[in-house]
Amino acid sequence: MTRAVRLGAAAVAVAVIATGWLIRRANGGLGTATPPFVPGWSPRIETVGAVVAVLVLLAAVALGPRLLDRRLPPAGFSVASYVLALCVGLAANLAREGTDGWSRMFTIDGAFHEGPNEYLPGLPTLGYGARFYLDRFAEMASSQPVNVAGHPPGPLLLMDALGITTAGGLAALCIVAGALCAPLAHRLSWTLDDEPTGRIAGLLCALSPALVLFGVSSYDVVFAAIGALAACLLVARSPGWRAAGLVVFALATFMSWALLAIGAWAAIVAWRREGWRAGLALAAACGVAVLVLNGALALATGYDPIGALAATKQVYDNSLATRRPYAFWVLGSPVAWAVMTGVPIIAAAIAGLVARRPAAIALAVVVVVASLGGFTKAETERIWLFMVPLACAAAAPWLRTPRLRAVLAFLAAQVILIELLYETVW
């Protein structure tokens, strides 16, 4: 059964990729460089950086499985997985443009860069203070860079609180936060299964192409780290940790609308593990937490969350997404995300889905709803980064085999080939 489902998923992915290639060749449509993927064909190499990247990736493949040794305590693994993810991410992103590859996407004046669409150009709107910013956010959103307008006020408020005003500073935030996804995946999978399985999830996260190639250079990886933390807490057995998870979850949704999906994922996990009452109770608690936060901000500052969401929708409806037909992207979006997350990771997650494991079922539901709803058409390699730790946790139980090193080698090869052959934008 698992083999048949995997083959079916592979066939769908190949068909979508082939269709995108043919349409792109015929009329250049669909709205990305290589539909269903965002990266465009653009081979490039920075020799020294590429050598460093290959050496670090080889070391990660060789040494990664050694971190499974039970003589290394769980806390030691968490630290080691963080360092591993940090080294892999930094090294891989040297391969095309050297150290410029760590921050160029945030520079405002660089040709062909995404900087003007990113967050730094939105900082002047905080010139009159955070209270004024929140009060006028809904009215100002449509005039802001697309990434600012496409999210709640949280991202700029965090940057302002940390004193981030440069491309280097923003890159540092993304790099530091992105590497946290590996130890958080370890903790999440440990909570769902057991500690040894959690270590596998951490290793998968450290080498997932999506997190390595977009996690060093996209604010979305900050959302991924916050979402992973919320997920860890929401599925904890302790009521106290779950209560803390509700707070983190509410704050996460203030950073990205997409992180509402974390609450849905956690509620489905609770339903499958503890019954429908537990799932319904957690879903309701998540809803209340979001309402309380937004209500408190509305009373304290005049923030209009409904107006902010409407402004985001208006911006999205007038963006490049209008050139991306739903009929293609309803399958193109999940295919792009799945391939970039890592083929072995998704194959293992599918095995979990067939076996009706809670984490895999919850992930599948979130992906299907996001795809059918058309919330995101393309760019899911970046926008759905928050689901990568969830995928690693769903996949980990099925990769507790001697073939783990081969899986890590496949992921590492995917990372370096994509980095050298394609312009990933972020």
Asked if 64 and 410 touch (Cβ cutoff 8 Å), the reply is no
User: How crowded is residue 318: how many other Cβ atoms within 10 Å of its Cβ?
Assistant: 11
Instruction: Name residue, tokens 């293992």.
Output: 348
Angle, CA 344 vertex, CA 353 and CA 380 arms, to 5°: 80
Instruction: Name residue, tokens 């590996």.
Output: 182
Which tokens sit at 92?
Answer: 């891989």
User: How crowded is residue 266: how many other Cβ atoms within 10 Å of its Cβ?
Assistant: 28
CA distances from 327 to 19, 212, 366, 377 (A): 12, 30, 19, 10
User: How crowded is residue 405: how many other Cβ atoms within 10 Å of its Cβ?
Assistant: 15
Asked if 54 and 416 touch (Cβ cutoff 8 Å), the reply is yes
Q: What percent of the chain has pLDDT over 90?
A: 83
Q: Is 188 exposed, middle or buried (0-12, 13-18, 19+ CB in 10 A)?
A: buried
pLDDT (0 to 100) of residue 111 = 54
Closest to 374 measured CA to CA, from 321, 316, 326: 326
Q: Radius of gyration of the chain from Cα atoms?
A: 20
Q: Which helix (H) or strand (E) holds 90?
A: helix 74-92
Q: Determine the residue type at 286.
A: C
Which tokens sit at 329?
Answer: 């992207």
pLDDT (0 to 100) of residue 112 = 52
**Distance of alpha carbon 16 from alpha carbon 103, whole angstroms:** 32
Q: Low-confidence residues of the chain, pLDDT below 70?
A: 110-113
**Distance of alpha carbon 297 from alpha carbon 158, whole angstroms:** 15
**Distance of alpha carbon 402 from alpha carbon 65, whole angstroms:** 9
Q: Determine the residue type at 372.
A: L
Instruction: Name residue, tokens 């604010």.
Output: 219
Q: Which helix (H) or strand (E) holds 229?
A: helix 220-234
For the chain, helix, strand, coil in percent to 5 are 75, 0, 20
Which tokens sit at 413?
Answer: 């090869």
Asked if 209 and 415 touch (Cβ cutoff 8 Å), the reply is yes
Query: Mind listing the pLDDT tens digit for each residue in 75-118?
Result: 999 999 999 999 999 999 999 989 988 988 898 875 556 788 89
**Distance of alpha carbon 93 from alpha carbon 100, whole angstroms:** 9
Asked if 319 and 327 touch (Cβ cutoff 8 Å), the reply is no
**Distance of alpha carbon 394 from alpha carbon 349, whole angstroms:** 5
Considering the chain, what is the average pLDDT of its residues?
Answer: 94
Q: What is the pTM for the complete model shown?
A: 0.96
Which tokens sit at 358?
Answer: 């809670």
Per-residue exposure over 132-168, b if at least 16 CB sit within 10 Å of its own CB, e if not: ebbbbbbebbeebbbbbbbbbbbbbbbbbeeebeebe
pLDDT (0 to 100) of residue 31 = 86
Please state whether the peptide bond connecting residue 36 to the residue before it is cis, i.e. omega within 30 degrees of 0: yes
pLDDT (0 to 100) of residue 425 = 84
User: How crowded is residue 301: how many other Cβ atoms within 10 Å of its Cβ?
Assistant: 18
pLDDT (0 to 100) of residue 19 = 96
**Distance of alpha carbon 149 from alpha carbon 146, whole angstroms:** 5
